[in-house]
Structure 1
Amino acid sequence: MNENKSQFYGKNTLLGLLLACLVCFPLTISSDCGAGYVPFYGYSFINPEITKFDSELAPFFLNFSNIYKEFFKTQQEIYQLDNAKEWQERYCENANVADIRYIVYKASRFQLQDLLIAMDSETGSASRRIGGALANNGWARYMVKHNCRETVDYLMFAKTCEPHAVAPADSWREINRDVVAMSRLIDEAHDRFLRTESDYIKLRYAFQAIRLAHYSKQYDKVLELVDYYLPKIDYDPSIVEYWIWGHKAGALQALGQRPEAAYLYSRIFEKCPGKRESAYRSFRIDTNEEWEQSLLLCKSDHERANLYVLRANSNNALLVEEMRNIYAYDPQHHALEMLLVRELQQLEKDLLAESINPYRANNVRQHGIPRVYAGERVIELQNQVRSWLKENKLRQPALWKLAQGYLEVLAGNYYFAERTLEEADEMIEDKHLKEQLSVFRLVLEILSLEEVGDDEERYLANLGRQYKFYKNYPDFPRLINDKLRLLYREQGDDAKAYLMEYSLAQLKANPDLDIIDRLIALCRKEERTRFEKELVELQDGTTIENELLNIKSAHLLGQGFLEPALKAMQEVTLVEQDNFGQFNPFVRRFKDCVNCLLPDTVTTYNRVELIELMLEMEFDARAAESADQAASIYFDLGEAFYNMSYFGQAWKATDLFRSSSSGDRAYRNKGQEIFSHVGLPLGNHENFNTDRALRYFDLARRTAKSKEIQVAAAYMAAKCERNDFYTQHERRTYDYFSIIETDYKDTQFYQRIINECRDFQAYLLK
């Protein structure tokens, strides 16, 4: 220890004082870093597979975000598959759909031309005559073998038309086209139509002509072509007919005949999955009169129900009312189930566990969730579902019973929800609905918890291993954590509640000594439950105790409590003490530099060694042989506390997280010590306090006989005074600048202050 002491109060102490931080510029501080956008935080437990009874309609109505693609096809994929399947049904059941899709959507005109050449050849098998990439294509071989010239001719023509007739975003909306070229192709389609024998190929030529007329904005011609072609074709029902209807509807709408267009779009929406989204996007009714006219065009109650289905899917729809309209015309309409699940999704987002959601304020502020009318909507839908179940006209009563139970969960009626889900259990046979029932029951069980003890912790901790569907629903851990956090707080167990909501990183940034002590006690508990182990144990079987002791020690040291800080750090195992940082707060520089590296020649200390040294220095100061020697020690202690604050290079000794933006924010909000920061929901506590440093600098000034030591100590005290103004007080005081000006003009150190401290220069000019 004698070697260490010589660094601080040897013969060169006065020189060290003269090299103290002399430049007194205001701190350079970065811009504010306030809280930004936070994604919606909620829970979802609705299984997408409960809608697989209508997997083509489900993705249009529902929103399953990242799991959507796993269960459902895109509109484009449905369109292409339906087209390929129809070619397969009409011409070649032996060819697989992939081969047909390749020829229709990938093969070039030149490849198709090769098929015609192969048809003219009489030598070898079909695959030999074809050659190239299509040699192994089953549909290509079929068409060559059976001399399907009309089909190949049509496919080549379709590829010629395609660049002129690709809809933006797969809809029937208009963009600028080469009208002259398109008109020539319309005429060519007509000529081919007249020369073709197959009614099915005739239908497709008619489609190409009508499509080209639509995209070239020849709307009257579209209607003319539809009226001309369709009566002349004898064909079985085909999806191509719905494609033609779509272009007819687009022409009607462009000509102001919206009721007729809306009716056609509703028929396409139901009958043609590949164009369902296009029909919905194009559907438009502007007035009640137009709506009534559309209803009059319907030929059945089912068709009238379809119109309401389209209207129900708009963003501003009164969903329950629209469901009533659909039910009135067709109680077994398959869209009713989709609309039910859709509203369940939204109400789940609004209401599920809303009272325990830690981000509910942000959900309201940034996302408008829950909707202000969500409570009324859930009651309204509950009443309607009960009423329809009593009437016993629904297509899938088990699904509706299950929904009734979940609506009661969302409304917080847990007693009734349990009874309803029991009744649903007796009705459900489908395996996906059985899984959904099981999941809803577990959600209800978690939300119904009123207290948590060791038994509840063991049960919840084992869910991941024992509950069959747990891993399929990633929001279960979050729901459990949020529920337990609330129960722990109600039971007075704030430490567990803290770890349920926040991480160790948050505790480092904003220490809470009471929470830290409770967590340390939990780490030292002899018989921890599995759940408690999950909270405080690391992968290697050790606990977070040493981390907690390090946080506690650093925070206490920053508050100036040396003995308690030392006691906490001494409880860290000796082997681990060096792993929590090496420091030297006694290094002096001309100006503050929080991120400057220490010279290699400087001795560093772990926190135990540092605090022991500082405590010994306090003893040595009291036992010093001379006033100047004691003053030098007090000066060193003041410098240590200054450098361990926010403003010094040894800040890591007392603060485990520092943000450069905090100084500027503190200047604008005097007295603020906790600052919002991304990823830190409780904020970041900064150690701005230099009171302990000021005390030692003032003690050094009053104790010293040497005026050089006195002025250096006064100067450092003035820096503390300045920093206190930056972060604490609206009005700046200049007590120590006044002392320097009055008492120390005859010192060498005063001249350095005059030459190098602009802050002091400005003071003298006042």
Structure 2
Amino acid sequence: MTKRFLKRLGLGFSAGVLAAYGIIYACADGDWGLEYSSNFTPETYVDKSYSPLFLSGDTFYDIHYDDIHLTRFNDEILKDWKAYLGKKMDVKAVEYLLLNDTANTLINDLYLKKKNADQSPWFQAVNMKDKKVNSFVTFMYKAKKLEAFSTQTYNYWDYENFTRKQADPTIVQEFITDYDKISDKFLKNRYWFQVAKGYFYANDLEGLTAFINRTEAKTPKNSLYYRALAYQAGLYHVSGNYEMSNYLFARVFDQCPTLRVTATYNFKPQNDSDFFASINRAKDLEEKSALWAMQGYYGDLNKAISEIYKINPKSKHLDFLLTRLVNGEESVLAEIAFQDLESYKDSIQLKLDKNALALVKQIASENRTKQPYLWTLAAGYLSIFNKDYSYAAKAFAQVEKTSPKTHLAQNQIRLLKLYNSVSETTKMDKAAEGKLLEELNWLYNVCPKDTLVPEFRYEMASGWTKDVISRLYAKQGNIIMAELFKADPDFYYQNNQLESMKKFLSRTDKNSWEKLAEGVYETKLTDIYEFQAIFSAYKDDINQAIVYMDQAGENAQTELFGNPFNGKIKDCNDCDHEAPQKVKYSKLAFLKKMKEMKEHIANGKDVYANSLLLGNAYYNMSYFGNARVFYDSNSILNEYGNFIGDKNRSMLNGMSMVRKYYQHAFKAANNKEQKAKIAYLMAKCERNDFYTANYFTQPYRWYNQGDVDFIAWQGFQQLRDNYSDTKYYREVINECGYFRKYLGM
């Protein structure tokens, strides 16, 4: 029960109870995917005040960290003063004086000079002779003295080195004097809180404790009272008296939902003895339940739930702890690798916390909690992991009859029923398809558009059900349905599978189940044709590539960012993309232009220029060129970014087609300038092959290499030995640092 977790966060109370009344930050990864690892939405039945304490990958669920200490009670304060003043002061004036940092001068003016200010029309009607208005301004004038201490700023991460200025004890005495003489109950309560606040910022635990003890019997037990208890708890914390600190924070946790997060964060039993000492101080069952609830937040949930249930089965804290237990089980089980279905289910069952399951089922069966349907729902859900599908079905049927009919609750029950149905499915036949069709259509097509309950966690079930159904179909040999529910990145590299999918997607007589499967499948028929067009193009089968690209729909009209026929000394894709272009080529137009050039070569027309341009085209279609969009926008190929996968590396990094056309150009060259250019461009091909072999064979290998960026390419040697008298040679020297280095310049 030692609070290693809290120690690790470094609460820093030695700096003045920063966690209670400063900002709370802590290093955490954040909620980047709870909705993808959970089917159990805690908001369904649990009060909103607990939501930051739901299981989270961050410091606090949804809010990430607690940073509203200076504004937490603004709405309540404003509401209270508006009610007190009624129509005696404009509500905008009240809000300005209470909450605006620039109001000090005006408050001073109203209080000291007893006259109206003319800064705003709001204040022209202020009647300082009115007793309540005068009392309000007087209170604000005095309260501002403490704000200088309660609104100090500091480096949020530097807990231990922050030095807080302490309030002058004379300020506290002024408030005590006012408190003792005021008879107005509303004002008396406000001055009482200012005394407590003053003692806190004067770091006077003894004075605060004595004051609370003296006045407690006649002090209303409202939020001001529990804010004062939090101050007292904070000072006990600083003094090292965790027994009292934890006990008081438990009272705050129990009775003041607004401070529930702060109380939980600052709960810090050091060992069993001081925790049970706090338990012994509890005056009633609710206080004991609150202590166990906070202990369960950090520690043994099963133990905490059991203890609270024995103390008070109707405790409002039980339901919140149950959601943490269920979400915790989900997070543990989500780590199990998905192999074949049966071994996966066996692993889930083996790793499930059987004690937690037994506890939840027992409590559910006794029907004594505040929300018994929540416990029945949780028992049914956990039973799915135990492969007890019959129990789960009965539990969900019971919950449907007894649960509130909120939209979120109905969604939650429906989702878990579907999860159970898919879990017990062992074969995808017509019966199974008919049973699941309507529910899966809801999950896949309705839930993503449902804005009424944005917190509803359906994403995990969406992906999981597709995975299970795909595996069942694969086991049955139905490769098309298996692929539709979960895409295999290698599926289209087998031509028979590719053609089968084309045939399926082209059908117009699909039944409802097949339409559902097609709807969740991200790859469209046009993507497949584009995929085939890309492969045909890299094989130099431009005619076939055009045939396929013609059937690729809008994909064929995707524009290339740069001129794909450019071949420059220095590769700069961004420069090419930004350069003015007389002609913008779509993918289809690009292929048609390549076909035209090939025809010119075949007819012996301007062979050098057309071969050079085709070589540039294939260069720019590669990973190294300015036309990567030719391949990287295809969802099947799925090659984008700075690393090409093994199965496509030889095609997308390869220079064979580039060399083919550069060599054609070299043979057709009419002068040394043309040959010099080809020699250099061939050197770029050598360089790219070198990079591919040495740096791009596995992710991030680049960073493990030495300083060898280039070697003596054959193209460099030819350029130096045979074409040093050309203009192009001098251009290469000016633009290519590798070539200058090769020359020893």
TM-score by length of 2: 0.67
Name the count of aligned residue pairs. Answer: 658
Matched, 1:394 2:378: no
Query: Which stretches in structure 2 are left out of the alignment for 5+ residues?
Result: 1-28, 340-346, 696-707
Residue 298 of structure 1 is aligned with which of 269, 274, 282? 282
Correspondence for 1:644: 618
Unaligned runs of 5+ in 1: 1-35, 122-130, 358-371, 622-628, 660-672
CA-CA distance at 1:334 after TM superposition: 1.4
Structure 1 pair 502–163 and aligned structure 2 pair: CA distance change class (3 A) = farther
How far the C-alpha of 1:340 sits from its partner, in A, is: 0.4
For residue 321 of structure 1, report the CA deviation from its aligned partner: 1.9
2:233 equivalent among 220, 232, 249: 249
Contact 2:530/2:549 (8 A) holds in 1:
yes
**Corresponding residue to 2:596 among 613, 627, 649:** 613
Q: What is aligned with 1:439?
A: 415
Asked if the contact 2:349–2:385 (Cα under 8 Å) also holds between the matched residues in 1, the reply is no
Correspondences of 1:621-660 after superposition (within 5 Å) = 633=607, 636-637=610-611, 640-646=614-620, 656-657=630-631
Deviations 1:21-58 (A, max 9, x none): xxxxxxxxxxxxxxx99943715444555335x44345
Q: Aligned letter for 1:442?
A: L
1:451 aligns to what SS in structure 2?
coil
Aligned to 2:191, the other structure's residue is in SS state helix
User: Relative to 1, partners in 2 of residues 1:275 and 1:479: Cα closer, same or farther, differing over 3 Å?
Assistant: closer
Cα deviations across residues 363-400 of structure 1 (Å, max 9, x unaligned)?
Answer: xxxxxxxxx99974643321111122344443332221
CA-CA distance at 1:339 after TM superposition = 0.5
Alpha-carbon distance in structure 2 between the residues aligned to 1:569 and 1:653: 16
2: distance between equivalents of 1:710 and 1:680?
32
Matched, 1:286 2:270: yes
**1:222-261 aligned within 5 A:** 222-227=208-213, 229-230=214-215, 234-235=218-219, 237-261=221-245
1-structure distance, mates of 2:212, 2:610:
96
- 8 A Cα contact 1:646 1:687, kept in partner: no
CA deviation after TM superposition for structure 1 residue 337, in Å? 0.8
Question: For 1:363-762, what aligned pairs fall within 5 Å after superposition?
Answer: 376=351, 378-410=353-385, 413-428=388-403, 431=406, 433-445=409-421, 450-451=427-428, 460-461=440-441, 472=453, 476=458, 479-480=461-462, 483-484=465-466, 487-488=469-470, 490-491=473-474, 517=499, 520-528=502-510, 545-546=525-526, 548-569=528-549, 596=576, 600=582, 606-607=589-590, 609-610=592-593, 612-613=595-596, 616=599, 619-620=602-603, 633=607, 636-637=610-611, 640-646=614-620, 656-657=630-631, 677=641, 687-695=652-660, 719-728=684-693
Question: What residue number does 1:22 align with?
Answer: none
Q: What SS does the corresponding residue of 1:293 show, helix, strand or coil?
A: helix
Q: Contact 1:737 / 1:760 at 8 angstroms: preserved in 2?
A: no
Aligned CA distance change for structure 1 residues 62 and 599 (closer, same or farther; 3 Å): closer
Among 128, 133, 149, the residue aligned to 2:122: 133
Query: Is the Cα contact below 8 Å between 1:592 and 1:647 reproduced in 2?
Result: no
Encode CA deviations 1:468-523: one digit per residue, 9 max, x unaligned: 996646654674355335534643666776676679xx99xx99877765554344
Query: Tell me, what secondary structure is at the counterpart of 2:259?
Result: helix
Aligned partner letter, 2:413:
L
Match of 1:268 in 2: 252
SS of 1:205's partner is helix
Match in the other structure for 2:171: 185
Secondary structure of the 1:656 match is helix
Secondary structure, aligned partner of 2:270: coil
Q: Find the counterpart in structure 2 of residue 326 from structure 1.
A: 308
Residue 44 (structure 2) aligns with: 50
CA contact (8 A) 1:485 1:498 kept: no
Q: Deviation per CA, 1:446-467, whole angstroms, max 9, x where unpaired?
A: 5555538786667644667888
Contact 2:209 2:232 in 1 (8 A): yes
Q: Distance in 2 between matches of 1:147 and 1:584?
A: 77
CA distance in 2, matches of 1:295, 1:433: 35
User: Residue 37 and residue 425 in structure 1: after superposition, are their counterparts in 2 closer, same or farther (change >3 A)?
Assistant: closer
**8 Å Cα contact 1:213/1:219 also seen in 2:** yes
**Please, which of 33, 45, 60 is the counterpart of residue 40 of structure 1?**
33
CA distance in structure 1 between the partners assigned to 2:226 and 2:443 by the alignment: 50
Farther off after superposition, 269-278 or 607-616:
607-616
Quote the Cα distance in structure 2 between the aligned partners of 1:735 and 1:150.
89
Higher gyration radius (CA): 1
Describe how 1:138-149 pairs up with structure 2 within 5 A. 144=130
CA shift, 1:307, in A, is 1.6
- More deviation, 206-215/600-609: 600-609
Higher RCO, 1 vs 2 (CA within 8 Å, ≥6 residues apart)? 1
Over residues 37-95 of structure 1, what are the superposed CA-to-partner deviations in whole Å (9 max), with x where a residue is unaligned? 9943715444555335x4434554566999969xxx98888745666777799x79999
Change (3 A) 1:738 1:568: same
Aligned to 1:347: 329
Tell me the CA shift for residue 324 of structure 1: 1.9
User: Structure 1 residues 241, 684: closer, same or farther in 2, change over 3 A?
Assistant: farther
Deviation at 1:554, TM superposition (A): 2.8
Larger mean CA deviation between 254-263 and 395-404 belongs to 254-263
Return the letter of the residue paired with 1:50: T
Contact preservation (8 Å) 1:638, 1:695: no
> Could you tell me whether the CA contact under 8 Å between 1:331 and 1:395 is conserved in 2?
yes
| Helix, strand or coil at the partner of 1:645 | helix
CA distance in 2, matches of 1:678, 1:648: 12
Conserved 8 A contact 1:549-1:571 = yes
AA matched with 2:45: T
Q: Distance in 1 between matches of 2:82 and 2:552?
A: 75
SS of the residue corresponding to residue 644 of structure 1 reads helix
TM-superposed deviation, 1:438: 2.7
Change (3 A) 1:448 1:117: farther
Distance 1:513 1:404, change over 3 A: same
Distance in 1 (CA, whole Å) between partners of 2:332 and 2:655 is 48
Q: 2:182 aligns with which of 196, 199, 202?
A: 196
Question: Corresponding residue for 1:368?
Answer: none
Q: Which of 289, 296, 299 is the equivalent residue of 1:312?
A: 296
- Return the letter of the residue paired with 2:540: G
Cα shift at 1:266: 1.5
CA distance in 1, matches of 2:694, 2:160: 64
RMSD: 6.0
What's the secondary structure of 1:606's corresponding residue? helix
- Name which of structure 1's ranges 581-590 and 478-487 shifts more when overlaid on structure 2: 581-590
Query: 1: CA distance between counterparts of 2:386 and 2:689?
Result: 53
Letter matched to residue 616 of structure 1? E
Measured in 2, the distance between the counterparts of 1:602 and 1:354 equals 50
Given that 1:458 and 1:530 are in contact with CA atoms closer than 8 Å, whether structure 2 keeps it comes out as: no
Asked if 1 retains the 8 angstrom alpha-carbon contact of 2:179 and 2:188, the reply is yes
Name the amino acid aligned to 2:169: S
1:5 alignment counterpart: none
Aligned-pair distance for 1:645? 2.4
Compute the displacement of 1:318 (Å): 1.9
Q: Residue type of the partner of 1:549?
A: Y
In 2, Cα distance between the equivalents of 1:429 and 1:598?
64
